[in-house]
Structure 1
């Protein structure tokens, strides 16, 4: 299988949503099989391009894994309606013997009924934009809605540094291992620690994306307007 056979088209979404200004993104939770296939194609293309896995790892027309069966998937769309980034939440369950990915690759025992952030992939042209920050908020808002307090992720060192720079209270809890052709380790975050920090930033009008972005009500988007505090 070559990259050319799985490239996505650039046709915009057809739903009647308000248009976004340039450099903005809309984050949606996957609802249909067509959207799930789009999610998988974006992840597959990015992972192949970055060498995180090879064409030999893709034994189906579109790459998937067992965790997709008990995950919720999220897509970031640019202002023109093209899908440009992915992330997912894996929901583990001791009762139903559904392990998180970090349990399989690392010697980590998660808290009961935790979730794992996984499947982060961003099209190269959009890595300097705000798509990742918007995806993280969509994940956090969903975890808050579901009442899930403990969150894990398997990350590369550069992503760990980016998270800490943006104010996410993440803690490294494992040694490094070579996974998906790259150095990875496990991080942990208690969600309430993040929300407390965001509320403090907002109260102090601190210059941080955690403060400015989260001062705005969640509407599923991120753009330049979120880089300044909302007028109250």
Structure 2
């Protein structure tokens, strides 16, 4: 059973998400938070698998709440799925840098929200094509990576670099397997090693690392 905490300052939306989550046979709501402060506190108490996190909330916004949850050892394994009505570049980048595993708009169809919860709970990062494009655009505006950041990749193999590059372009494990002529099991092994070596929470974090280290660039040098 996947345990879900809902954090949103609007009671009506919290109730709607709770009803949605509790109708799924494999999901259950373990709490509701009306502010970022409550979200952090309840996450520590309930240890949910996934937090549905609104961005604009009183006392503490969703991005800072996400950062606190993901950087606290006791709750660092909790996955945060950002839900917002604001489809803005800054939010996408900031939320993922804070440790969020996914980013969805509130008008996402209910069945897709449930699917997103399952994907994130399974340890996969969830980036829609629109979000991926915005994330890439954000990196395109940023300075070139420094040598220090690039050195972060020194411990990975050439094959792992290839896999990481393909992850950063949005390919799934089966697509990577086809592209590199590898078995799916081998690709999963490479992804697991990348997560461990780069100390990344999930695929969303691997995408950020690929761009920040300069392994993948948005334009020719």
TM-score over 0.5 (shorter chain): no
TM-score, normalisation: structure 1: 0.27
Q: Relative CO higher for 1 or 2, CA cutoff 8 Å, sep ≥ 6? A: 1
More strand by share: 1
TM-score, normalisation: structure 2: 0.28
